[in-house]
Amino acid sequence: MKYIFKQIDNISGHSAETTIEFSADYLPDILQHFEMFLRGSGFHPTGTLDFVQDDDCDTAKYQEMYDSMDLPKGLNAN
């Protein structure tokens, strides 16, 4: 399958575009390309992207962390 990830940013009135286009058949390959896309878009997360079982994840802990983040207006659900 073919995938396209695209980010358009308006920096000081100038549009900057980051696009990654690739073909992949397996989820680990897609996650690897998405991680590269995030890095190319200016994000530098530590660790790797992965899927975890819902029952293995403490959602309350992550909700508390999300609620305490200082996000730009419009991004915080609260």
- The predicted-structure confidence for 30-53, as pLDDT tens digits, reads as follows 989 998 898 888 888 887 777 777
Residue 54: strand pairing partners: none
Contacts of 34 (CB under 8 A, 6+ apart): 5, 49
Measured CA to CA, the distance from residue 32 to residue 54 in angstroms comes to 21
Q: Which of 1-5, 12-16, 46-50, 74-78 has the lowest mean pLDDT?
A: 74-78
Rounded to whole angstroms, how far apart are CA atoms 24 and 35?
14
Contact (CB, 8 A) for 6 and 16: no
Dist. CA 28–CA 34, nearest whole Å: 10
Residue 15 pLDDT: 81
13 band by pLDDT with thresholds 50, 70 and 90: confident
**Residue 23 pLDDT:** 96
